[in-house]
Chains A and B, each alone.
Chain A
Amino acid sequence: MPHDNATLEAVSIDQAEGNFSFPEAYDYDAGYGLTEQVIDYISDAKQEADWVRDFRKRALKVFLDKPMPTHWASKDLENIHFDNIRYYLAKGQRPTRSWDEVPDDVKQTFERLGIPEKERKYLAGVEAQFDSEAAYSNVKEELEKQGVIFVNSTEGLREHPEIFRKWFGKVIPTGDNKFSALNSAVFSGGSFIYVPPGVKVAHPLQAYFRINAENFGQFERTLIIVDEGAEVTYMEGCTAPKFETATLHSAVVELVAMKDAKIQYITVQNWSNNVFNLVTKRGLAHENAEIRWIDCNIGSRLTMKYPGVIMKGRKARGEVISIALANDGQHQDTGAKMIHAADETTSNVVSKSISVGTGRSTYRGQVHIPKHLKGCKNNTECDALLINTSSRTDTYPAITVRGNQHATQHEASVSQVSEDQIFYMQQRGLSEAEAMSLSVNGFVNDLVREFPMEYSVELKRLIDLEMEGSVG
């Protein structure tokens, strides 16, 4: 390796403010920095086919050639030091970290969020995997009977290239942006799902269920293909804070909904506040297909995420529903991309953000309806709530509609929790923090309902926790 690891560890960007770090031994460690040798190391470790290795190497070139998007995005991106990052770490065995080594404040947070015991250990990295093998094997059996493929990306590319190769990197080309190129070069982990025609998967598929030590990798790659008339809901993440030693997370998620198919992709992420979370998510909806992104972003130092839908077939529908909460020192730069590419396509974007303390939230939306199309509809609503006077929000909606046979509407609002509202609630006996929590929960209530029950309960608790420090 080109660098002396001990020195780099000492100067690495998150060591000073990282709120969680453990010495760990990995069976596979590609070392610091990004070179062709690192790519070979990953491909060797994963025993990948040549076409995958070549795909990675081409992506590396694209990544190195592309400038940082700092002309429109946060200058904070310049603080990512690509040479100080380890791009591939994997454990061949269960980790050695013990529950006793987990800091007390982390344990307390789990306690207060009401996370079940087993999940706590998993989340704190004490157990490499969620202990739900029994539950999973039932799910797996049922899925196999229906012909559903639900594996990790390594296995997907190795065992089912005839299915996944066709769409891999097609919805989000390597060169889409600098971070999609990075992911294409070094991806590991993530889910590969294929649902055969007409199969409606009864229960949501969760990343949890898939037994895989690299499940929550830094550079996850997920590809979901839902064939004609089939339906699936996928859920990733959870409301518990994820305590990470790695500071750069850059996932790529591609969805393909064939004719009449439906995909619902639900994400709840709560990163520790040293993490750069730079994600590219996009779906391709064929005729009369529907893709819904339901997304909740909490924590991280900087999140940049704009889930998109390309409505390629007639009457395709795309939807993005998102909640972002930016607390002290955090920047949630989120939004949606809706590309109308066929007649009578419909898109809906509803985004709500909350900025607490010095937190900053940015909404960026792009809606594109070209001139030659007929009967397209878009609805965009973005509402921002500011909690403190030092909180900040910005909105950059770009709606390009050409031709006159379309219907679009756009609404945006910025509001503040008023002192009089808090006074009113306190007069009924709620503490200032409880009043603030209830107000904020009220603000996002209509969107929280879109999440599955267990998530919405956790979300409420999480908002309560986040609001505790905002008053006083």
Chain B
Amino acid sequence: MNASLSINDLHVSVDGTEIIKGLTLEIPKGEVHAIMGPNGSGKSTLAKVLAGHEDYEVTGGSVTMDGQDVLGMEIDERSRAGLFLAFQYPHEIPGVSNANFLRAALQARLPKGEEIDAVAFYKEMYARMDELEMDRKFTGRSVNEGFSGGEKKRNEILQMMMLEPSFAILDETDSGLDIDALRIVAQGVNSMRSPARGFLVITHYQRLLDYIVPDHVHVMFDGRIVRSGDKSLALELEEKGYDWVKEELAA
């Protein structure tokens, strides 16, 4: 069995326009991969396609997780199989408390008839919230409703910690975060790094990668990965800008 999230020659269209044009990437468990790229390069599309968003049509290629076909699975099946997406813009769910939402998500992973242990659940949730420096009052508040940008992102990381995925995709988790929040969120992510878990960190800026140090960095442009390297590639990009990649490609 192949213990990785493996994307092979993926092609994706939206309304007939191809956005991802043959993307290949393998993320073995235990590694953190970063994808950087200018706006419109297809980074966020990749995140949503992996999660199964129905607006995107996969026209070719394959995605497997630990050897298992992902593209044939429903959105929720992918989640329960171990795929997690931290949203760039997390949605609000009015009237549903954070605690109830998390509980429902965990309950969905149990076999029918089995009930979640409420005491253990709250203990775990409080411990994780403390790590993320989240006030206890967030357990009773409606999911993301009235949360600041930073609070929403912390909440995404809280969900990730509670669901303990095998592969986590972080879609521009750094956007809208001040430096303190960025540090806390990164700490949360780093605490989750393990040989049993792979990460795909999507970001526009190098800044996040000072805190979550990647094993590999990929540059995405026009629907493909055009360059791969180690963490120094991110620094190089930061210094020279995305135009450097575009010019190199044109040459």
Does A432 touch B at the CB level, under 8 Å? yes
- Report A-chain residues with C-beta under 8 Å of the C-beta of B211: none
Given contacts A423-B75, A424-B90, A442-B142, contact A430 B104 (CB under 8 A): yes
Are the C-beta atoms of B76 and A439 separated by less than 8 Å?
no
* Complex-state Cα separation, A434 to B101, whole angstroms: 11
* Complex-state Cα separation, A418 to B54, whole angstroms: 13
Are the C-beta atoms of B101 and A428 separated by less than 8 Å?
yes
Are the C-beta atoms of B53 and A429 separated by less than 8 Å?
no
- Report A-chain residues with C-beta under 8 Å of the C-beta of B101: 425, 428, 438
Interface string of A270-305 (1 = CB under 8 A from B): 000000000000000000000000000000000000
Does A390 touch B at the CB level, under 8 Å? no
* Complex-state Cα separation, A112 to B159, whole angstroms: 29
Does B108 touch A at the CB level, under 8 Å? yes
Does B95 touch A at the CB level, under 8 Å? yes
Are the C-beta atoms of B96 and A427 separated by less than 8 Å?
no
Given contacts A426-B76, A429-B80, A429-B163, contact A439 B93 (CB under 8 A): yes
Does A24 touch B at the CB level, under 8 Å? no
Does B79 touch A at the CB level, under 8 Å? yes
Are the C-beta atoms of A428 and B96 separated by less than 8 Å?
no
Are the C-beta atoms of A429 and B109 separated by less than 8 Å?
yes
Are the C-beta atoms of A420 and B105 separated by less than 8 Å?
no
* Complex-state Cα separation, A418 to B53, whole angstroms: 13
- Report A-chain residues with C-beta under 8 Å of the C-beta of B84: 427
CB distance from B42 to the nearest CB of A (A): 19
Are the C-beta atoms of A438 and B79 separated by less than 8 Å?
no
Are the C-beta atoms of B75 and A426 separated by less than 8 Å?
yes
Closest chain B residue to A430, Cβ basis? B108
Quick one: which of B51, B95, B159 contacts A446, CB cutoff 8 A? B95
* Complex-state Cα separation, A441 to B100, whole angstroms: 11
Cβ < 8 Å to B, chain A residues 66-119: none
Are the C-beta atoms of A431 and B95 separated by less than 8 Å?
no
Are the C-beta atoms of B79 and A429 separated by less than 8 Å?
yes
Does A224 touch B at the CB level, under 8 Å? no
Interface string of B145-158 (1 = CB under 8 A from A): 00000000000000
Does A445 touch B at the CB level, under 8 Å? yes
Does A400 touch B at the CB level, under 8 Å? no
Interface string of B93-132 (1 = CB under 8 A from A): 1111000110011001100000000000000000000000
Quick one: which of B54, B76, B87, B96 contacts A429, CB cutoff 8 A? B76
* Complex-state Cα separation, A424 to B144, whole angstroms: 12
- Report A-chain residues with C-beta under 8 Å of the C-beta of B93: 421, 424-425, 438-439, 442
Interface string of B60-96 (1 = CB under 8 A from A): 0000000000000011101110001101001111111
Does A444 touch B at the CB level, under 8 Å? yes
* Complex-state Cα separation, A426 to B85, whole angstroms: 11
CB distance from B128 to the nearest CB of A (A): 15
CB distance from A425 to the nearest CB of B (A): 7
Quick one: which of A423, A431, A443, A445 contacts B108, CB cutoff 8 A? A431
Are the C-beta atoms of B105 and A424 separated by less than 8 Å?
no
- Report B-chain residues with C-beta under 8 Å of the C-beta of A423: 51, 53-54, 75, 91
- Report A-chain residues with C-beta under 8 Å of the C-beta of B91: 418, 420-421, 423-425
Closest chain B residue to A445, Cβ basis? B95
CB distance from A195 to the nearest CB of B (A): 35
Cβ < 8 Å to B, chain A residues 424-472: 424-432, 434-435, 438-439, 441-446
Chain B residues packing against A (C-beta within 8 Å):
51-54, 74-76, 78-80, 84-85, 87, 90-96, 100-101, 104-105, 108-109, 142, 159, 163
Query: 13 interchain pairs (CB within 8 A)?
Result: A419-B54, A423-B51, A423-B53, A423-B54, A426-B76, A427-B76, A428-B79, A429-B76, A429-B79, A430-B108, A432-B74, A442-B95, A442-B96
Q: Give 20 new A-B contacts, CB below 8 A, not counting A423-B53, A425-B91, A432-B74.
A: A423-B75, A423-B91, A424-B93, A425-B93, A426-B76, A427-B78, A427-B84, A428-B79, A428-B163, A429-B108, A429-B163, A431-B74, A431-B108, A432-B75, A438-B96, A438-B101, A439-B96, A441-B95, A442-B95, A446-B95
User: Nearest 9 pairs between A and B by C-beta?
Assistant: A442-B95, A445-B95, A442-B96, A426-B75, A424-B91, A429-B79, A428-B105, A429-B108, A426-B76
